[in-house]
Amino acid sequence: MNIKYFQDTDTLYIEFRKDAVTETRDLDEDTLLDLDAAGNIVAITVEHARQRADIPHFSFEQVAA
């Protein structure tokens, strides 16, 4: 997983896998979902991320199975 935040455009890009994107779906006017040929989620793009995703307070936690 790779997460990038672009301050100049206030865009959050969350990449789940490195597979080729074959389809992009608009979830709403500011959220895009990228899918591979099998329909698996490749990435999510969130526009206006500071107000929609509380970017300054981002944290990540991996929980053991």
Q: Tell me: the pLDDT tens digits for 5-35?
A: 898 999 999 999 999 999 999 999 999 999 9
pTM, whole model, 2 decimals? 0.84
Please say if the pLDDT value at position 42 is more than 80.
yes
Task: Yes or no: say if 25 and 9 are a contact pair by the CB < 8 Å rule.
Answer: no
Label residue 53 by pLDDT band (50, 70, 90): confident
What 3-state DSSP class applies to 39? coil
Q: How many CB atoms sit inside 10 A of residue 46's CB?
A: 20
> What span, in angstroms and rounded, lies between the C-alpha atoms of 22 and 6?
23
- Contact of 25 with 42, CB cutoff 8 Å: no
DSSP structural state of residue 7: T
- Domain residue ranges of the chain, discontinuous segments joined by +: 2-51
